[in-house]
Amino acid sequence: MTVPAKLVAFAAALVVIGGAAAVAGGAIDPDRGESSGNDTPSSAAPAHGDSHGGGEATSEKTEEPAEIHGLAVAENGLRVLVDTPELERGRTERLEFTIVGEDGKPVTEFDVEHEKRLHLIVVRRDATGFQHLHPEMSADGTWSTDIKLDEPGSYRLYADFSHKGEKATLATDLRVDGEADLQPLPAPSDEAHIAGGYDVHRHGLEFEITKDGKPITPDAYLGARGHLVALREGDLGYLHVHAEQDELKFSGEFPTPGRYRLFLQFSHEGKVHTAEFTEEQR
C-alpha cells in the first residue's frame, strides 16, 4: 500500500529531477510538453519548491509543510503585467508580459535557473491544458512567447524565476472567450498512459517509466531528468519540487489536506512528455 508521499523545502526554482545530469545531445527547449496522458481526462487546480529526493515518506520524517506560492500577481516587490490577457480560442498568438519592480519599471536582470532565466506555466482553472513554456526577453524587459489555447475559459499564468538571488512565482489570469466546459478532477490513480507507448507508474511520489513494456531512463531535460509540478485544487496554489540526483523520487509534505494534480515532465528520444496524476491528501 502506498504511503502518502511528501513534498519538502519548496522554493521558487523550477522543479528538477536529478539535478546534476548532463544534457545529452545539447539542451532541449520545447515550447510545451509534447504529449500528455492519464487514464481519465485531466482537470483541477495549482504551488512552489525545491526538495531533496527520497521516495516515499515514512512516519519518522518531520519536514515542515510546503509554503504556498503563485496566489498573487505581486511578490517581493515585483509584479507581473500581461499586455493582452484576452486570447482567441484555437489560434496561435504572441503572449507578451513584463515583470516590474516597485518603481513600475520593467526588470531586466534575472538569474539563470535550470538553464533558463524564466519558466512559464499556463493551465486552465480546472487544471487541464497544462503548458510549460520558455519565453524570450527583449532588451526593454518584455517577455514573449507563442501560445495556443484550445478551449475557452480562465487560465492561470505562472512566471517562475529568480531575481538577484530571490526566488519568486508571480501569477495572473488569461481569458479565452466562450462557454467553458470545466472538467471534474479525475480520481486518484497510480498509472498514466501516454501516446507513443509510454506508461508511467508511481508509488507515492516515486515514478517509473516504461516504453512498450520496457523500462527507460529519461534524457536530460533543462539540465535534469525531469520536472514535477503540483497544482492544488480550489485556489490554484502552486508547488514545485526537486528529486535527488538521477532518481525519479520526491519527498516532503503537502501543505494541506485536499486534492492535487501532478504533472511529471520528462524527455525521451528528443520529445518532452507529460504524465498527469491526481493525489489526494487526507
Contact between 115 and 27 under an 8 Å Cβ cutoff? The reply is yes
Q: What is the CATH number of domain 74-176?
A: 2.60.40.1930
Pairing type for strands 86-87 and 166-176 reads parallel
What residues are paired with 167 via a beta bridge?
Answer: 162
Among 2, 7, 62, which residue's Cα sits nearest to residue 255? 7
For residue range 254-272, what is the model confidence (pLDDT) as tens digits?
Answer: 889 999 999 999 999 999 9
* Ranges 35-44, 53-62, 205-214, 247-256, most confident: 205-214
Distance CA 268, CA 48 (A): 25
Q: Which three cell numbers stand for residue 196?
A: 507513443
Tell me which of 27-41, 146-160, 185-199, 234-248 is least confident: 27-41
Among 98, 49, 99, 37, which residue's Cα sits nearest to residue 230? 49
Q: Indicate whether this model's pTM tops 0.85.
A: no
What are the structural domain ranges in the chain?
A: 35-61+184-281, 74-176
Q: Which residues contact 105 (CB under 8 A, 6 or more apart)?
A: 141
Among 211, 213, 205, 225, which residue's Cα sits nearest to residue 278? 205
